[in-house]
Amino acid sequence: MTEAEFEKHLGKALDQALEDAAERAAKKVLAQSGLKQLEEKEINEVRALIEAWKSAKTTVLTTTVKYFTMAIMGAIVFGLWARWSSGPSSG
């Protein structure tokens, strides 16, 4: 086995070991938190709820920025209109 093959094999083995350890840790946390009884459907519902929450936050932020931008642009237009509608300036 060449050094490159050994490194590739070692990398795969480490990746698998890390994945196994993460899975065991997740199961342990679920068991300790009492969430082990959750079914896959319930977990998917929680994921969907979190995704909806993220989407709602993004929508609120986007809408808020749009409203502030429109308010600033409206104030500028109103200011220009007020200045121009007051007639010729003496100066």
**Do residues 31 and 58 share a domain?**
no
* Domain extent for 14: 1-37
**Do residues 29 and 61 share a domain?**
no
Q: What is the model's pTM?
A: 0.45
Is the pLDDT reported for residue 90 higher than 60? Answer: no
- Distance (Å, rounded) from C-alpha 77 to C-alpha 71? 10
Domain count along the chain: 2
| The two three-digit tokens of residue 28, written as one number | 């342990």
**CB atoms closer than 10 angstroms to residue 63:** 10
Could you read off the pLDDT of 40-89 as tens digits, one per residue? 777 788 889 999 999 999 999 999 999 999 999 999 999 999 999 876 65
Is the pLDDT reported for residue 30 higher than 80? Answer: no
**Do residues 81 and 91 share a domain?**
yes
- Distance (Å, rounded) from C-alpha 49 to C-alpha 89? 59
- Distance (Å, rounded) from C-alpha 6 to C-alpha 14? 12
**Do residues 31 and 44 share a domain?**
no
**Do residues 67 and 87 share a domain?**
yes
**Do residues 80 and 55 share a domain?**
yes
